[in-house]
Structure 1
């Protein structure tokens, strides 16, 4: 019999995990904050449990929208965030309070042990595999270079990776700029989850090629839906 703790679930949360309630409160607050700036169109119904949620990163608004979507999603989720965000006193306290897991600039296995452990417990985790904001001129097919950490997480845990496309945040909050609240109609931000992939190779470069193709396809599909539903101007 396994001696692992019970899997995470919003119906049966792990009692000793004190981060769950603060995480959900921040999620609900973030959802309201996001709706002040943008209209959100979120569909994460295909997410398996557990999974590694791999999203693209084009704007600081991604964090607000992401927390909001995670807070409304019916299961507890850990968020992996670059360790540099834990260096600020106030921000570090918030991140620790909600159970965020710091990740290094370089994804060595030992440094990712916290994320791997949570996945094996049955928790899902959110990660932005590009590791940083990526300007448009540095994207290829809409995506920046992926870092090895996501492959290490997937291979070591055996958990599938679910690509999530985030479309429109860079229009509402461009890199290097301030948030833009367009009136009378707010801009639309779309989040779409696509089919999960397993990264089973010991060759992390090969795994990243597999994931890159899946994330690129997810972005293209979401962009088509976005344009069909809202047009280019949003």
Structure 2
């Protein structure tokens, strides 16, 4: 079966940049919808299936960071943010709002395409992994994480909202309970060595996951920080069979 072309939504107010991105992606087997602000973005998300959003930070009206937070509260659609500012603090802020990746302008369109493919590939791998190992989900302390559905449910059975990056990192922890995992290895496992990410992003994601699963965020017991080592996921993890 031929690989389906991904549907990419480009939200960028600069016409020249928007046109350049759309043309390059279309020439590389992507379906592209364009928007110049938040209102057009939400209209496009209503009218079209969107597999990934490329979202500029500096937009007229509501800015990209605020739009990212709004989208993330409603959807798991991956988001790659674009900005003219490349400092770590701006990247971290974007990740805090729920972005899956972050690219500073000016950028090479090839790098943007590589990041799009990396994010979509991580989703595809997570979605097919259960067919490879026979498990449809993992459980820990009555929490359940299902990578076929890409969802996390708390002990009461309620669905917990997670970004794609948060899900991938928590799944990686659940696959390796009781092991000390360095930030570098976590980057390799979740995003790939060529993703262009930085180790501080792992700290940001861990902090966000802790807010969702830890009984006490000030004294975390599920994801422990190992001094000069990285992190360790402490609970016992069990696989859930296809019939459960």
Could you state the TM-score of these two structures normalised by the residue count of structure 1?
0.32
Give the structure, 1 or 2, with the largest relative contact order (CA under 8 Å, sep 6 or more).
Answer: 1
